[in-house]
Amino acid sequence: MKPLSSQQRPRPIGSQLLASLTTRATVLSPDRAHSITFDREGRWLFYFCNGRTYKRSLASEVHLRFRQGTRRRRHLPDEEARQVFEEVQQLAQDIHGISTGEVRRRLAEEILPWTPTRLAAEKSRFQLAYRPISILPPDQYLAVVLQATEGCTWNDCTFCNFYMDRPFRIREATEFAAHVTAVQHLLGEGLRLRRDIFLADGNALAMSNRKLLPLLEIVQEFFPGRRLNGFVDLVSGERRTADDWRELRGQGLERVHVGMESGLDELLEFVNKPGSAQELTEFVAVLKSVDLQISLIVMIGLGGREFRHRHRAASENLLLDLPLDRRDQIYLSPFIEHAGSTYQQQRQAAELTPMSEDEVEEEMTQMASRLRREGLRVSRYDIREFVY
């Protein structure tokens, strides 16, 4: 949950209850150990309880994050999720009993009608609006995701299993408009909390301007003025000219997210990731020439111990050579090896040694420290904590 602005900081209500009431969300904290964030539709999104953070997805799946020596996380099975729904509902009822004014009104009219049964049923409504949403950049977890495409154009990186279950396809304008309508209905007043649009799936910005611009017109019709983001792979991005990107910028595109993975060409080739350090340098220069913001994702631990130091050095040097500014974002992502993946088979055949979790954390700390000293924005991106 983002920190509250000075206008949104909790204010005392009664002897213990703290509440932040904005047009975008309702945050209630009956004591120091508990805090719940609700969207304006009345559905809870974040629940903090005694050092444990629960995040509920739009499909009412629940992700738990906590510390027990180290950082821990897990997705809750349905029965445990139901217990959390009931706990939040009871807490909301207790707060209702001691609240007054606008807090009491929001609880009665927006929040308490969302019983555990009704909340669990959001899974069916989600599935009517969306195909599976496999991954998003962390700054887009509260975006309005619109699936202009399904799957990924490349889908051959050996480490990735996000889109193995579906081929790439582009939605026609009529189908896309129906999808956008369904999303709008699903989110309801929860739209107030979601300022950005993320154009999904894995490589939506790969389609030509001829196909993409009609879809962006639909986006602007339904969600005027919202910032637009999307993934693109390096090879697809390079096919566009500066004028093409400038045209998309004029239609609301603000930030482009690129899976850089590594600045070491040898490692990119090993994992079958298209592109090179030189190509990324040229692509970033084009994007910056039309005033687009960029997010670059680096996988820490990719290639194991044998690639460790060369991977870090090449990635740091490349990032420091790029014309990035404070509006741009670098994400360092702990590499997760999926059991049975092509990458795992490759690594074993090449006799590469996986890095331990402590080694990955050490690499992330060292890289982040160097990049931040040079004025770059660096954040953590852990795919295990993704929930939408």
Over the stretch 42-60, which tens digit does the pLDDT of each residue have? 999 999 999 999 999 999 9
* 172/48 same-domain check: no
* 169/225 same-domain check: yes
Backbone torsion region of residue 354, taken as left when φ is above 0, otherwise alpha when ψ lies between -120 and 50, otherwise beta: beta
Q: Give bridge partners of residue 70 from the DSSP assignment.
A: 68
Q: Looking at the domain assignment, is residue 6 inside a domain? A: no
* 47/66 same-domain check: yes
Q: Which range is least confidently modeled, 120-129, 155-164, 291-300, 356-365?
A: 155-164
* 235/376 same-domain check: yes
Q: Which range is least confidently modeled, 2-6, 263-267, 335-339?
A: 2-6
Give 249's contacts (C-beta < 8 A, 6+ positions apart).
Answer: 290, 291, 292
pLDDT of residue 214: 97
Give Cα 325 to chain centroid, integer Å. 21
Give the span between the Cα atoms of 67 and 76, in whole angstroms. 16
pLDDT of residue 15: 60
Q: Looking at the domain assignment, is residue 3 inside a domain? A: no
Tokens describing residue 84: 């959390």
Give 158's contacts (C-beta < 8 A, 6+ positions apart).
Answer: 271, 272, 341, 342, 343, 346
Q: Give bridge partners of residue 65 from the DSSP assignment.
A: 53, 73
Give the closest residue to 104 by CA, choosing from 26, 173, 46: 26
pLDDT of residue 166: 87
Q: How many domains does the chain have?
A: 2
Using the predicted structure, report yes or no on whether residue 2 has a pLDDT greater than 60.
no
pLDDT of residue 71: 85
> Which 3 state secondary structure label does DSSP give 127?
helix
* 196/49 same-domain check: no
Mean pLDDT within 67-87:
94
213-243: pLDDT as tens digits: 999 999 999 999 999 999 999 999 999 999 9
* 115/134 same-domain check: no
Using the predicted structure, report yes or no on whether residue 11 has a pLDDT greater than 50.
no
* 299/320 same-domain check: yes
Give the span between the Cα atoms of 84 and 105, in whole angstroms. 23
pLDDT of residue 164: 85
Please report which confidence band the pLDDT of residue 8 belongs to, taking 50, 70 and 90 as the band edges. very low
User: Mind giving me the DSSP string for 147-185?
Assistant: ESEES-SS---TT--TTTTS--EEPPHHHHHHHHHHHHH
* 295/352 same-domain check: yes
Q: Looking at the domain assignment, is residue 4 inside a domain? A: no
Give the span between the Cα atoms of 309 and 312, in whole angstroms. 5
Q: What percent of the chain has pLDDT over 70?
A: 96
Instruction: Summarize the chain as % helix, strand, coil (round to 5).
Output: 45, 25, 35
Domain termination residue (choose one: 87, 119, 151):
119
What does DSSP say about strands 25-31 and 17-21: parallel, antiparallel, or unpaired?
antiparallel
CATH of the domain at 363: 3.20.20.70
Q: Looking at the domain assignment, is residue 2 inside a domain? A: no
Mean pLDDT taken over the chain: 94
Q: Which range is least confidently modeled, 29-33, 54-58, 108-112, 315-319?
A: 29-33
Show the DSSP H helices in 240-326 as ranges: 242-250, 265-270, 277-289, 304-321
Using the predicted structure, report yes or no on whether residue 262 has a pLDDT greater than 50.
yes
* 168/292 same-domain check: yes
Give the closest residue to 29 by CA, choosing from 41, 291, 40, 44: 44
pLDDT of residue 123: 97
> Which 3 state secondary structure label does DSSP give 344?
helix
What domain range includes position 276? 130-385
Give the span between the Cα atoms of 249 and 357, in whole angstroms. 40
Backbone torsion region of residue 366, taken as left when φ is above 0, otherwise alpha when ψ lies between -120 and 50, otherwise beta: alpha
* 83/206 same-domain check: no
Please report which confidence band the pLDDT of residue 6 belongs to, taking 50, 70 and 90 as the band edges. very low
* 107/196 same-domain check: no
Domain termination residue (choose one: 89, 119, 149):
119
Backbone torsion region of residue 378, taken as left when φ is above 0, otherwise alpha when ψ lies between -120 and 50, otherwise beta: beta
pLDDT of residue 7: 44
Per the listing, tokens 């566009």 go with 240
Domain termination residue (choose one: 62, 97, 119):
119
Count the residues in the chain.
388
299's enclosing H/E stretch is strand 293-300
Give the span between the Cα atoms of 1 and 258, in whole angstroms. 24
165-219: pLDDT as tens digits: 889 999 999 999 999 999 999 999 999 999 999 999 989 999 999 999 999 999 9
* 153/228 same-domain check: yes
Mean pLDDT within 142-159:
95
313-370: pLDDT as tens digits: 999 999 999 999 999 999 999 999 999 999 999 999 999 999 999 999 999 999 999 9
Tokens describing residue 7: 């206008």
pLDDT of residue 366: 97
Please report which confidence band the pLDDT of residue 4 belongs to, taking 50, 70 and 90 as the band edges. very low
pLDDT of residue 88: 98
Q: Looking at the domain assignment, is residue 270 inside a domain? A: yes
Mean pLDDT within 307-313:
98
Q: Looking at the domain assignment, is residue 125 inside a domain? A: no
- Whether 90 contacts 30, CB under 8 Å: no
Please report which confidence band the pLDDT of residue 252 belongs to, taking 50, 70 and 90 as the band edges. very high
Please report which confidence band the pLDDT of residue 70 belongs to, taking 50, 70 and 90 as the band edges. confident
Using the predicted structure, report yes or no on whether residue 10 has a pLDDT greater than 50.
no
Q: Looking at the domain assignment, is residue 312 inside a domain? A: yes
pLDDT of residue 202: 87
